Amino acid sequence: MSESVEINHELDTSGLLCPEPVMMLHNKVRDMKPGETVKVTATDPSTQRDIPKFCNFLDHELLSHEQVEKHYIYLIRKQEKTD
């Protein structure tokens, strides 16, 4: 995980299964300001597919993704666009 990136929000979706982690991420990102970052922790392996697709579809930046034991950790920056 990049140590130089400030984490503004954290979202723990451990124990939740598809589609809940992405739904919770969508709600969290909606409340964030452009340019802010969120660290997401998940245990559902399907997030490895779903979260990158979510970021790509909505133009959010997936800064990093790593697996630590049975946890998937994502760092996402909300898009800078305001339109």
- Cα gap 28→10, rounded to integer Å: 9
Pair of tokens at residue 20: 């809940």
In DSSP terms, 72 is beta-bridged to 42, 67
Marked catalytic residue, from 11, 16, 18, 24: 18
- Cα gap 34→1, rounded to integer Å: 21
Q: Radius of gyration over alpha carbons of the chain, in Å?
A: 12
- Told to judge if 18 belongs to the known catalytic residues of this protein, a careful annotator would answer yes
* Active-site amino acid positions: 18
